[in-house]
Amino acid sequence: MPQNQLGKPLIFREWLLRLFFPQHCASCGEPLGEGEQFLCARCQKHLRLLPPDTCPKCARRLELCSCLTQSAVYRAAAAVEYDDVSAPVLWKLKFDSRRDLAPFLAQLMEQRRREFFAGQRFDGITYVPMSKAARRKRGYNQAQLLGRELQRLSGIPCGQTLLKVRSNRPQHELNAQERRLNVQGVYRLGPHISVRGLRILLVDDILTTGNTVEECSRVLLRAGAASVGVLCAASSLPREVKRYSNRREKTEFEK
Q: What is the pLDDT of residue 251?
A: 45
Q: For the purposes of burial, counting CB atoms within 10 Å of the CB of 44, is it exposed (0-12), middle (13-18) or buried (19 or more)?
A: middle
Burial label, 90 (beta-carbon count in 10 A; 0-12, 13-18, 19+): buried
**216-240 pLDDT, tens per residue?**
999 999 999 999 999 999 998 767 6
- pLDDT band, very low/low/confident/very high, at 242 (cuts 50, 70, 90): low
Query: Residue type at 159?
Result: G
Domains annotated for the chain, with CATH where assigned, are 1-46 (no CATH), 50-254 (3.40.50.2020)
Comparing 7-11, 100-104, 156-160, which segment has the lowest mean pLDDT? 7-11
Residue 163 has pLDDT above 50, yes or no: yes
Residues β-bridged to residue 81:
235
Q: What is the bridge-based pairing of β-strands 187-189 and 162-164?
A: antiparallel
What pLDDT, on a 0 to 100 scale, did the predictor assign at position 66? Answer: 76
Q: How far apart are CA 236 and CA 39, in angstroms?
A: 20
Is 116 exposed, middle or buried (CB count within 10 Å of its CB: 0-12, 13-18, 19+)? Answer: buried
